[in-house]
Structure 1
Amino acid sequence: MTAISTAPPVPRLASRHRLVKVMRLHLVNRLTYVGIPWIITGVALFISIVVALLISAAVPEAGRQDALQGMSYSWAVLSPLWYLAVVGVQAVSAVFPFALGFSITRREYALGTLLTYVVIAAFNATGWAILTEIERAINESGVVFHHFTALWLGEVGAGAVWLSLFALQILIFAVTSAFAAVYARWRSLGMLVLWAAVALLVLGLIAFAVLTGTAPSIIDWLMGISTVSFFAALLIPAALAFGLGWGALRRAPLRG
């Protein structure tokens, strides 16, 4: 006969506590997730202010308003987003093996990482949306200046600004994490195959649109959809990228 143990099971942290533990591991160095993006935001804003002052000093008053209005085409407002690609890679390359060393499962790591991305993206999007509204109020007072109200951000409401910045962050986090996960699982060969697959997919879609004559209608459709619909749709490829990353991490070896 086999003896049946009546000893109580070894206590384990509740699932939600483990997810919080993963988030804490990501946020041990808050400078990476929060500090540097906002430092970049401040530096970019300072540069925009300097450019606006130079325009005001160099351009005659008759054409000054038009020259300052040209700043609405600046991409400086998006400069913090490019750094977030580094964050997505570090979330896998540095935190993943460390988290598993704390007996956190791969599933818990993936869910905790996703929650971290959502919290950070929501926090940043809220801050940037508030600054956009402040700058919009400054412009309505008669002072022409565009940094946070550049590109489409100056033409849509606060909700659309928040959604667009949130979705862009989630997409960047998900895609860069997926690439890092593929590298962790299959190394250079996996990256080569992934880049080739992405290139072939893009070329295939372009070729299909051109050869079937649907390119003009597709472009018209893209130009006609609302800002909210467009950026909400970006959450779909973000979800696919996160799924790809999770699939790679399920069997990724713990190696440096």
Structure 2
Amino acid sequence: MTAISTDPAVARTGTPRRITNVMRLHLVNRVTYIGIPWIITAVALGISIIVALLIVASVSGPDQQVALEGMGYSWAVLSPLWYLAVVGVQAVNAVFPFALGFSITRREYALGTLLTYVAMAAFNATGWAILTEIERAINAAGVTFHHFTALWFADAGVGTVWLSLFSLQLLIFAVTSAFAAVYARWRALGMVVLWVAVAVVLIGIVAFAVLTGTAPPIIDWLFGLSTASLFAALLVPAVLAFALGWLALRWAPLRG
């Protein structure tokens, strides 16, 4: 005769709680998401300061001002963003199997990861936007120096600076994690197919625009967009990339 257990069932924690737990898993090692990007920011800023000091020490007269203004073409301000590609890959390779080991569903992992990306992108964009405004005030005081105010940041308002940095981070997070998810599901063959598919789509779009004569209007339209609109549009491919990653993770095995 089979005994019937009268012990109360163990209640499963609510979905919001488990989504929050996914975010905590991502942020267990805060150096990955926060520490290293800001270390790179500090190092890049230090290098820019050294370059500016070398210009002041070695160039005089009108040429000095021209050389200092030339720093406005430096891409050093974007240097922390390239590291975020590593974060997107680690979010899948390291955290995904670990999260499912705690009975977190794939859907909860995806939502928690997305919220982590949004939170980190907003945090970093806010910090960098504040530093941009500080540097803008320094330039207004008569000291010519460009690191955070390089490229389009020099003329953009604080809202546009924040939006552009936020969108770029989300796009990098989404694309790299999508590639990692495809690799986790289909391995090397999936990566080859994905790269070929991306190349075919891009070439197809360009060929269609050229053959139909719509390329010039499209180019004029793109150049006519405001900086804010252009970077807001980057959220669309970011969403598509995240959706691709989610579809891959739905069938991805936990191990090799």
Could you tell me the TM-score, scaled by structure 1's length?
0.96
1:7-156 correspondence to structure 2 within 5 Å: 9-156=9-156
In the TM superposition, residue 154 of structure 1 has moved relative to its aligned partner by: 1.1
Distance (whole Å) between structure 2 residues aligned to residue 12 and residue 214 of structure 1? 55
Q: CA deviation at 1:139?
A: 0.4
Q: Which amino acid aligns with 1:113?
A: T
Alpha-carbon distance, 1:196 to partner? 0.2
1: CA distance between counterparts of 2:129 and 2:5? 58
* Cα displacement string for residues 206-230 of structure 1 (whole angstroms, at most 9, x for unaligned residues): 1112222222221111111011111
TM superposition shift of 1:9:
4.2
Identity, in percent, stands at: 77
Counterpart of 1:134 in 2: which secondary structure? helix
List runs of 5+ in structure 2 lacking aligned partners. none
Task: Tell me what 2:236 maps to.
Answer: 236
Q: 1:5 to 1:221 in 2, by over 3 A?
A: farther
- Poorly superposed stretches of 4+, deviation over 2 Å: 4-10
Counterpart of 1:66 in structure 2: which amino acid?
V
Per-residue CA deviation, residues 138-165 of structure 1 (Å, 9 max, x unaligned), is 0001111000000001111101100000
Distance of 1:42 and 1:53 partners within structure 2:
16
Return the letter of the residue paired with 1:52.
Answer: A
Q: Deviations over 1:2-49 (max 9, x none)?
A: xx9997543111111101110111011111000000000000000000
**11-20 or 105-114, larger mean C-alpha shift:** 11-20
CA distance in 2, matches of 1:14, 1:204: 45
Instruction: Give the aligned CA root-mean-square deviation in angstroms.
Output: 1.4
Q: Which amino acid aligns with 1:103?
A: S
How far, CA to CA, are the matches of 2:177 and 2:220 in structure 1? 32
Distance 1:211 1:98 in 2: 49
Give deviations 1:73-93, integer Å, cap 9, x for gaps: 100000000000000000000
